[in-house]
């Protein structure tokens, strides 16, 4: 909401901080060296050997739908909506049988629900018509589905097909830049930095370790640096006490 006297830049900063929970213009730390990053992921691994995503799903199709619905929404909010939806439609054909209006009813608590419902129906149609009702396991094929971008495709490749694909969301972007694990000016640069600098044996779970760290410890407005297991290695200049 604009206030008199707000310039465009201030309005953008306000929107990012208060509506999206993002700290804008995050200071970009210097890229950490290999040994330090290895130590960081060794600690993440010791604290949570098998990190898991928090989006509920019952098969790969419902994972695709859940991830597509999670854009600009919280996992908790998506889970609340999809429990009922997936109980009645856990395959592309069942989703088509359910129809767009019923999908809207299930997901109307999620932001952009009308557009997302339209895409859920379209991607289900494409899966039935062109992929025999099966979810493909290649990035290009996944990204050909309506409503499925690179980030959604990477999450599915990582969580379901066990590929070390890095999907950079707001949490990973923040942690990568603050700590120096994967600094970059945009999500593509951070994705490349994670791929280039995280040791191969930690690549598969890097996505979830970084998301969970950003969601619960390195939070946007006031990071919990006192409770952070990588505090001594992190490059962030404004650590909290």
**122 flagged as catalytic:** no
Token pair in block for residue 36? 């330090």
Give CA torsion, residues 156, 159, 163, 168, to 10 deg: 70
Specify the residue, 19 or 224, whose C-beta has the smaller distance to ligand SF4. 224
**169 flagged as catalytic:** yes
Instruction: Given the residues 80, 90, 94, 151, select the one marked as catalytic.
Output: 151
Specify the residue, 157 or 182, whose C-beta has the smaller distance to ligand SF4. 182
Contacts with ligand SF4, residue ranges (CB under 6 A): 175, 178-179, 217-218, 223-225, 228, 230-231, 234, 236, 239
Minimum CB distance to ligand SF4, residue 37 (Å): 13
Integer CA distances (angstroms), 116 to 73, 97, 110, 141, in order: 11, 17, 9, 19
Specify the residue, 147 or 180, whose C-beta has the smaller distance to ligand SF4. 180
What ranges in 70-202 are assigned the alpha helix state H?
75-88, 92-98, 100-107, 113-130, 139-143, 150-159, 170-179, 187-197
Minimum CB distance to ligand SF4, residue 28 (Å): 13
Token pair in block for residue 106? 């299930």
Instruction: Given the residues 75, 97, 169, 186, select the one marked as catalytic.
Output: 169
The catalytic residue positions are 151, 169
């Amino acid at each position: 909401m604009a206030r008199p006297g707000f310039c465009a830049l201030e309005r953008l900063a306000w929107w990012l901080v208060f509506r999206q929970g993002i700290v804008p213009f995050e200071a970009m730390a210097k890229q950490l060296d290999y040994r330090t990053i290895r130590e960081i992921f060794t600690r993440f691994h010791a604290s949570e050997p098998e990190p898991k995503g928090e989006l509920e799903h019952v098969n790969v199709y419902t994972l695709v739908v859940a991830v597509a619905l999670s854009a600009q929404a919280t996992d908790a909010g998506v889970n609340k909506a999809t429990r009922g939806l997936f109980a009645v439609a856990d395959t592309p054909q069942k989703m088509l049988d359910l129809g767009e209006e019923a999908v809207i009813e299930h997901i109307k608590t999620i932001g952009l629900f009308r557009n997302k419902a339209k895409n859920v129906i379209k991607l289900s149609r494409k899966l039935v018509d062109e992929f025999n009702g099966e979810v493909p396991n290649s990035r290009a094929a996944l990204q050909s589905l309506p409503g499925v971008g690179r980030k959604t495709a990477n999450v599915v490749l990582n969580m379901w097909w066990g590929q070390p694909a890095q999907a950079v969301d707001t949490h990973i972007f923040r942690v990568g830049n603050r700590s120096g694990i994967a600094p970059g000016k945009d999500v593509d640069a951070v994705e490349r930095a994670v791929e280039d600098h995280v040791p191969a044996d930690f690549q598969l779970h890097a996505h979830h370790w970084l998301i969970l760290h950003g969601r619960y410890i390195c939070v946007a407005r006031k990071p919990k640096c006192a409770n952070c297991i990588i505090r001594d290695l992190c490059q962030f200049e404004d650590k909290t006490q």
